[in-house]
Each structure stands twice: as C-alpha cells, then as structure tokens.
Amino acid sequence: MQTISGIIYLILIACLLPYVFTVIAKKTAGFKGRDNQNPRDFLAKTTGLAARANAAQQNSFESLPLFIAAILMAEYMVVPQAVIMTFGIAYIVLRIVYGICYLANWATLRTIVWTLSLLCPICLLLLVIKLT
C-alpha cells in the first residue's frame, strides 16, 4: 500500500507543477483580478520572464499524459516499484530543473533537460513492452 501512495504522490506533484509556473507567469506579468475575463489572452501577450513561465507551464501540461500513462502502465504491468519510483522521481526533478532553465532563459540546457525528462516515461514504457 505504501508504494501505491508513492505513485499517487508522483502523479499529484507532476499535475500541480504546471500551476507553479502559471503563478510565476501571472505574478511577474502583474496579472490582476480584472484580467481574469481572458487570462489566456493576457498570458499570450506577456514578454520576458512571464512569457517564459507561461511557456514552461504549457509544456508541463503537454508532458503530463505520457508521464501518467507510463506510470500507470508500469504499475499495472508490475514493473518493480523501485524502478517506477526512480524514473518517476527523476522525471519530477528534471521537470523542475527544466522550469528553472526556462525561467533563466538557458535554452540549450533546457533542451537537454527536456530530453532527459522525456526519456523517463519512455524508458518505463519500454520496460512495459518488454514485460508483454
């Protein structure tokens, strides 16, 4: 039961991470309640740090389906918990580093970290394929 809760925490953290970047984007852009009529349009018009935080938020949402599918499939196919947790934690850490790289405007490092984070769920799915 404890291992299942670890997987749930991984998924929860991955799902909440994009919202951290949303808050950063809105705070740095001076988002106010009156802008809430069309917040996507507001964020699309931002520049600098706010625009990069918004892009990190969007990319974080885009990467979620692959991560969640990989974690759940690995659990379903009884991939060892240590392996699932290792790839899951690595994904979370890499996604945080990715966001930091995006905010700091370190494009090359950001791309490297993005690739590494993408490999985490891909490796899990490859293990699932191997077990079938």
35: burial class by Cβ within 10 Å (0-12, 13-18, 19+)?
Answer: middle
58-83 burial: b if 16+ Cβ within 10 Å, else e: bbbeebbebbeebbebbbeeebebee
d(CA 57, CA 103): 11
89 touches 9 (CB < 8 A): no
As a whole number, mean pLDDT of residues 8-24 equals 95
Name the pTM for this structure.
0.91
Q: Has residue 2 got a pLDDT over 60?
A: no
pLDDT given at position 99: 97
Per-residue pLDDT reduced to its tens digit, 69-114 = 999 999 999 899 999 999 999 999 999 999 999 999 999 999 999 9
Per-residue pLDDT reduced to its tens digit, 29-81 = 887 765 677 778 888 888 999 999 999 999 999 999 999 999 999 999 989 99
d(CA 71, CA 87): 9
pLDDT given at position 33: 63
Class of domain 2-131: mainly alpha
pLDDT given at position 84: 95
pLDDT band at 1 (very low <50, low <70, confident <90, very high): very low
Q: Has residue 25 got a pLDDT over 80?
A: yes
2 touches 31 (CB < 8 A): no
Domain ranges of the chain: 2-131
pLDDT given at position 42: 81
